[in-house]
Amino acid sequence: MDADAGGPQEDVEAKFGWRYTFAKVMQDTTARWGLYVITVVLLISAYTVVDSNLSRITFGALSDFTFAETLPIFEHPERIPPPGQGEENVPPAFHADGSLSNPLGTDPSGRDYFTRIVYGAQVSVSVGIASTLIGFVGGTLIGAVSGYYGGRVDDVLMRMVETVYAIPPLILIIVFTVFVSGGTPDITYAIIGVGITFIPVFARIIRSEVLSVREMDYIEAAKASGVKNRNIILRHVIPNSFAPVLVYATLQIGVTILIVAGLSFLGYGAQPPTPDWGQMLNVSHGYMHSNVWLSIWPGLAILITIMGFNLFGDGLQDALDPRIDD
């Protein structure tokens, strides 16, 4: 673009593009707060990645270096302290029997609960994003093909999508996880399972967008100049139908975290000793009478994280929906 073209263009505010969208979203209080919460959760998970590598170093080859042992803030979240070292089921710090060295107490294996809660962010966020991505990519492809070709292809694909949609996600994912893993469920199967069950919703949204995009002149032009269907879908149809799905994807991350928490709670998601919030609630379920605290913190962590994504998604929807005007 010409250098002198920048001047006059600034006067006319572009009502599209990433920068405009971002500015509009940041004007929305709800979206802003959602973004703050998400940022904090992301920063915590990013830090734990660094921290866990540091603690691995201290347990590993570099343990001779004394400085390495002071570096990690947290203990290893999965390592069960040897007998006589960590006390089990210590109540949180504000309790009379609690201490500040274990602010949220310890779990039935004597591990620091705060450390495990903090590490749980990493698990939840990565699981949420990974399975949403699977649903997003799969749904976009199916929805685009279905909407672009229409007719028989559309009928077959949409019936398939409706079928997957008809079985409650939790049930479908458990069946998938257990059978595909051959009776030994794991978080990886859970991620793939959740991703697949969310293909239908994404496919439906992108399909309805594509139905209007395919009537556009530029698609006609591309067809006339002999561009292959595959390239039209990938280069023109999908990029132009993207925005609503992106909003939906943000909201979907929260839903995904919610479902994976349920899966792990039932024992078909993350397996011990992974510090996953749902898995921690599974363990604490057996201690409801003796140690109430164990059940409270992981649930609160899930609630706050999902609320962040929901707030952001809500705000995004409001900011980008031209119909709603305050």
The answer to whether 117 and 130 have CB atoms below 8 angstroms apart is no
Q: Which CB, 118 or 158, lies closer to another protein?
A: 158
Q: Binding to another protein (CB under 8 A): which residues in 88-147? A: none
How far, in Å, CA of 225 to CA of 238, rounded?
A: 19
Record the tokens describing residue 32, joined without a space: 């802003």
Binding mask 259-278 for another protein (x = CB under 8 A): --xx--xx-x---------x
For 267, left (φ over 0), alpha (ψ -120 to 50), or beta? left
How far, in Å, CA of 54 to CA of 48, rounded?
A: 9
User: In the chain, count of helices (H) and strands (E)?
Assistant: 15, 0
Q: Which CB, 55 or 177, lies closer to another protein?
A: 177
Please tell me whether residue 111 adopts helix, strand or coil conformation: coil
How far, in Å, CA of 214 to CA of 189, rounded?
A: 36
- Check residue 249 for interaction with another protein (CB under 8 A): no
Binding mask 149-188 for another protein (x = CB under 8 A): ----------xx-xxxxxxxxxxx-xxx-xxx-xx-----
Q: Which CB, 86 or 298, lies closer to another protein?
A: 298
Binding residues with another protein: total (CB under 8 A): 44
Please tell me whether residue 124 adopts helix, strand or coil conformation: helix
Helix (H) or strand (E) holding 120: helix 113-149
Closest separation between CB of residue 300 and another protein, Å? Answer: 9
The answer to whether 210 and 237 have CB atoms below 8 angstroms apart is yes
Binding mask 195-234 for another protein (x = CB under 8 A): ----------------------------------------
- Check residue 47 for interaction with another protein (CB under 8 A): no
Where on the chain is the footprint of another protein (CB under 8 A)?
159-160, 162-172, 174-176, 178-180, 182-183, 254, 258, 261-262, 265-266, 268, 278, 281, 285, 288-289, 292, 295-296, 299, 302-303, 306-307, 310-311, 314
